[in-house]
A = this chain, B = another copy of it.
Amino acid sequence: MLSVKAKIQSLRKAMQTESVQACIIPSTDPHISEYTPDRWKTRAWISGFTGSAGTVVITQDKAGLWTDSRYFLQAEVQLNDTGIDLYKTGLPETPSIFDWIASELKAGDCIGIEGDVYAASEAKTLIDFFSGKNLKVRSDFAPCDALWEGRPPIPAHPAFVLPENFTGKSCRKKIEEVMAAVKKNQADMTILAALDAIAWLFNIRGNDVKYNPVCVSYAAVSENETVLFIPPEKLTQKVSDYLQQEGVSVAGYDTITEYIRKIPVGTGVLIAPAKINYGLYSILAENCKVKEIDVHPVDALKGVKNETEIAGVRNAMLKDGVALVKFLIDLEKTLTNNEALTELDVEEKLRAYRSEQTGYFGESFGTIAGYGPHGAIVHYEATAESNATIRPDGILLIDSGAQYLDGTTDITRTVATGNVSEAVKRNFTNVLKGHIQLALSVFPAGTVGMQLDVLARRELWKSGQNFLHGVGHGIGCFLNVHEGPQSIRMNYNPTALEPGMLTSNEPGLYLAGEYGIRIENLLLTVKVKTTDFGDFYAFETLTLCPIDVRLIDFSLLSPEEIDWLNAYHQKVDQLLSPMLSTEEAAWLKERTKGIGASDKTVRIATETDSSELPVSI
């Protein structure tokens, strides 16, 4: 295997041949995936840096890797003796990639990118920027194709059909709805590249991407035909028969390019520039009337869960809750018995308890088990090197989730592993207050996430604290753990929260070098009222797992917040107990018993009970 230096040497030669003075190698793939198959880990191949986020830029005399604070240490180690300099993004002294390239090149020079692994929106921004600096951009520069010996193939895992008792809506019906939206947007057809969008539309799943049950493919939907572009080895007879029955044509994965070239001149093609690669976009733009939209109809439809999907998620939550309770009991016993326990053990135990549940398919993302200071690293993932031993002292942040055939879960609990200080309790309680205030919110139709975000942060802000990630992301049904179109963040996102949307509620607090706190449940948006002022929505919390009351300073909770906590715990106990052993149920009863009861009536919301306020627990 070639050294990084040798690979860069070959790349520089190819750049000279092609008169390219700077080459950018990002982390994305042709489907603009958050998690990419190994085939497209070009940046890791050329640089040796294996973190999930990072961009390499190569010129004839310099090479740089830009990555964020999560990976500073790892990058320093992996880039050692490669000739690649580390540029730490987020630090004031670090130049942006664009500015750095502009300062390194001279007018008329050319920048090479592989348009196929760039979102059209990003490539257009890049081209705009550099053309303003008198620099050319070639978007078909993909020399690594030839240089990368032993490049992994496209994953060959078979696709499978997810039956309608899980999806709640046939592929045929979904295609009809998508075409209605395409026409409403004055277009004739649409092209899809995002793997979760394709999996949702065709009601198929796969195993091509770690944590995401999707299969590598493209799709085209028009009035006349729906085509799925997929490596033929993925299609079992069953899947082929199913697709035919749903009226879907099948074509080879690579034939998408040729297909797009043949679209009649002037055809209106609807695309979301952030969800299609620039390679396909460029071909479309040559002949077609490209109609750009921020939120693709497939993402809009996928974001609103139907009754079957919601029932599935409820079921997945029961299973996940049982697994988590068993895990928490195990954790407590291990610590009480002074047995050795590491962060990687926590991951393994969680996997084991979840895999006992029916319909378990795998993890929905890499478990974050961060003990003490590791908890303060927002995207921490324990490695053999970092793996900390958990002691009966301090707090442990555990963010994990599973893929079940009936739903995807994502839950964070922060648990005390021993006695904790008053300061820890105060901070945990402030995070909890934010979590509860968001869970309790009621809002009119049309409200967007940015409007509600403050509810989860207000107590922290009062203390001069904050957390720099979003409060809420969408989540798929047996699909990607992160999806759009809605979000609850400090940033503006124009998508309104609609009944049927599933969104996380995960405020946190991270004190570098000390510990991290996060409390995450999933929320279902439900309609609760229609008044003279219109429709009002609220959240129903679907996740079922006790919140560690040993970390709460009850004096800081309002009566309303105590009521929420008691009602939530009562619901967790009632729904999970029947699925637990006597011993386990006793533990859960103890951990969910009412505290600091206020004089207000406590109500439990269930799925059949959404006609009256409040249903926010």
Residues of A near any B CB (own CB < 8 A): 441-444, 446-448, 450-455, 458, 461-462, 464-466, 490, 492, 494, 512, 529-534, 536, 558, 613-614
Is the beta-carbon distance between B536 and A461 smaller than 8 angstroms?
Answer: yes
Q: Which residues of chain B have C-beta atoms less than 8 A from A512's C-beta?
A: 532
Q: In whole angstroms, how far apart are the Cα atoms of A462 and B443 in the complex?
A: 7
**Copies in the assembly, this chain:** 2
Is the beta-carbon distance between A464 and B531 smaller than 8 angstroms?
Answer: yes
Instruction: Choose from B455, B465, B532, B613 the contact partner of A462 (Cβ within 8 Å).
Output: B613
A contact patch SS: mixed
Is the beta-carbon distance between B466 and A534 smaller than 8 angstroms?
Answer: yes
Q: A443-B461, A451-B451 are in contact. Are A466 and B558 (CB under 8 A)?
A: no
Is the beta-carbon distance between B492 and A450 smaller than 8 angstroms?
Answer: yes
Q: Which residues of chain B have C-beta atoms less than 8 A from A450's C-beta?
A: 450-451, 492
Q: In whole angstroms, how far apart are the Cα atoms of A534 and B614 in the complex?
A: 36
Is the beta-carbon distance between B454 and A442 smaller than 8 angstroms?
Answer: no
Q: In whole angstroms, how far apart are the Cα atoms of A466 and B529 in the complex?
A: 13
Interface core residue of A448, A452, A533, A613 (most chain B CB under 10 Å): A533
Q: In whole angstroms, how far apart are the Cα atoms of A613 and B536 in the complex?
A: 34
Q: In whole angstroms, how far apart are the Cα atoms of A264 and B269 in the complex?
A: 43
Instruction: Choose from B447, B462, B530 the contact partner of A442 (Cβ within 8 Å).
Output: B462
> Told that A442-B461, A462-B614, A492-B494 touch, could you supply 16 new A-B pairs with CB distance under 8 A?
A441-B454, A441-B461, A442-B464, A444-B466, A447-B490, A450-B451, A451-B451, A451-B453, A452-B454, A454-B455, A455-B458, A461-B536, A464-B530, A464-B531, A512-B532, A558-B558
Q: Which 5 A-B pairs have the closest CB atoms?
A: A464-B531, A466-B533, A464-B529, A442-B461, A442-B462
Q: A443-B454, A451-B490 are in contact. Are A464 and B558 (CB under 8 A)?
A: no
Write the nearest CB–CB distance from A8 to chain B, whole angstroms.
37
Q: Which residues of chain B have C-beta atoms less than 8 A from A530's C-beta?
A: 464
Is the beta-carbon distance between B465 and A533 smaller than 8 angstroms?
Answer: yes
Q: In whole angstroms, how far apart are the Cα atoms of A455 and B443 in the complex?
A: 12
Q: In whole angstroms, how far apart are the Cα atoms of A256 and B466 in the complex?
A: 50
Is the beta-carbon distance between B464 and A533 smaller than 8 angstroms?
Answer: yes
Is the beta-carbon distance between B490 and A461 smaller than 8 angstroms?
Answer: no
Write the nearest CB–CB distance from A435 to chain B, whole angstroms.
16
Write the nearest CB–CB distance from A530 to chain B, whole angstroms.
8
Is the beta-carbon distance between A531 and B465 smaller than 8 angstroms?
Answer: yes
Q: Which residues of chain B have C-beta atoms less than 8 A from A446's C-beta?
A: 490
**Can you name 17 A-B pairs with beta carbons within 8 Å?**
A441-B454, A441-B461, A442-B462, A444-B461, A448-B492, A454-B454, A454-B455, A455-B458, A464-B529, A464-B530, A464-B531, A464-B533, A464-B613, A465-B531, A465-B533, A466-B533, A512-B532
Q: Which residues of chain B have C-beta atoms less than 8 A from A490's C-beta?
A: 446-447, 451
Q: Which residue of B lies closest to A461 (CB)?
A: B442
Q: Which residues of chain B have C-beta atoms less than 8 A from A447's C-beta?
A: 490
Q: Which residues of chain B have C-beta atoms less than 8 A from A443's C-beta?
A: 454, 461
